[in-house]
Structure 1
Amino acid sequence: MCQYCVEHGMGTKWYLNPKNLNLKKAWEDANIRSVLESLALGGPKALVETIATVNALVEELPYSKDALDALNKMAEGANGGQVIPLEDAIQILKTPEKFDMKIGLTYCACRKQWGGQNKLVCMHFEPFCDILKKSQGTLSKYDRYITADEAIDICKESSKEGLVPWVQWASMPNVIGVCNCDLPYCIVFRTRMLSGVRNAAIKSHYIAQIDPSKCDGCGGSPQCILACNFGAIKFSRLEQFSVVDPTVCFGCGVCRERCPNKAISLVDRESVEVAKDLW
């Protein structure tokens, strides 16, 4: 399991531990409350500043190990996330109702900033979504409360569209919601891919595997390659099927949703020797 599951999972994934999903309870902690308020009220402005910083620093990459360690530690205490497959997103979204927490639907700030798109694909839990109401007019504009079933349907449609689900924390391990985004828009994926800050978007607990007996290469235009945000899939023209590089795969499962032959499955990351420690 990943480092955070060992520390905060109590035998399960950190984001499925009910204790970490009770954001109302976490709100009682003044330090956590401060992080949530800072993120909700200052997040959109900080996003623009982060984008500018990332752009300015691209030519200076790679960061030193000490710099990366510091950035990862900073994200751990403030805001970060982990890529998850659709089935885990569904489990997470079923939990708020158990704690009498509402789910708030918001516009994706990343897509608004990078693509000028108003796309309602981000879902945050109460009381974080209530703080977002105070941020009307900002990039991550609050829209409305939705039910768990509505949230799950949004995730399912997003997955079909090729968006990657990821669970967001505000001061690890407090889960604040589930977002759906993709490259080139997603700032957390950009930060991970461009600068190597792991805690921006930790890889999931899974690896995609392709059954060559079911894969026909989609007639030479593999849909899985088009779906993969992270460049983890290659097509063998000699063998006429696709293969996954487990050391690159984030285990989001979007390629699985796109495959017309159901040739792709997700396996536990720890079962793949070369990738089990690559988070």
Structure 2
Amino acid sequence: MSAVAVLRLPLETDLSGFLALLKRMGVPCRVSEESGQQVLWVPDTLAAQVRELYARFPQGDPDAPIEGEVVSATPVRRFGSLREAPFTALMLLLTLVVFAITWGGENLETIRWLSFADYGITEEYLYFADLGHTLDSGQWWRLFTPMLVHFGWLHLAMNSLWYWELGRRVEAHQGRFALLGFTLLFALVSNLAQYVFGGVGIFGGLSGVLYGLLGHCWLYQKLAPNPAYRLPPGVVGLMLVWLLVCLSGLVTALGLGAIANAAHVGGLLIGCATGVLGGWLARRR
């Protein structure tokens, strides 16, 4: 049985918790320094299991008592405070302002300037312009601004909570400009999907962006595990089940409102695509 190098990490990476976990499990190991990196060596028969273990618990076992000390229950998160997630907070503030000026989604005159397609208002009907006319008139902001419109406090609260939970993770791990780019990209794709497959109408909310962020974090984490994108157990399953429930038409049939299903699916698909690409690039690095 020979020793093989299973991990090569920067010198500043703290391996103490993970080494304590290996010690508790009785795994022989040693760490050396080579070419400005720390290298973890273990028996070749255990190499695959140790790599998988590090992918799951880079900070060590969160629940295991080791030599009278208790390892922290969760890895240290650097994305928890308002100061560390300024763009996430700014987006939520912007949606709150829009919620106020649209009277919670009831002021059609105000929503008209933020909707995907422009429309005219009469006493009984809304008359929508087609997308070509909207873009020809230079109103490109409409491709993105429906994400800021919410209909009712519950709609706003749920979307805001999920954007805070997912957005701050992306901002912490990939930066505020990445979050800005993803937010705009996911809004564009989800809005276009809803317009093409859902038909002309008034729709809005951050939910298409949220499904994009969910798909991004989910698959990025599969390819390049990191603490920021390690979502609580069951979150992905819960969101996917909710998506299927909405697609079934049950929510609308119960009178709980119309659901922009095409926006959800479009956001999820583009988010999965960016997650695969980002995770693959991070893994190569």
Q: Do they fold alike, i.e. is TM over 0.5?
A: no
Specify the TM-score bucket, using the shorter chain as the normaliser. under 0.3
Name the one with the larger helix percent: 2
Q: TM-score scaled to structure 1, two decimals?
A: 0.24
Name the one with the larger strand percent: 1
Q: TM-score scaled to structure 2, two decimals?
A: 0.24
Choose between structure 1 and 2 for higher RCO, CA contacts under 8 A separated by at least 6 residues: 1
Highest Rg: 1 or 2?
2
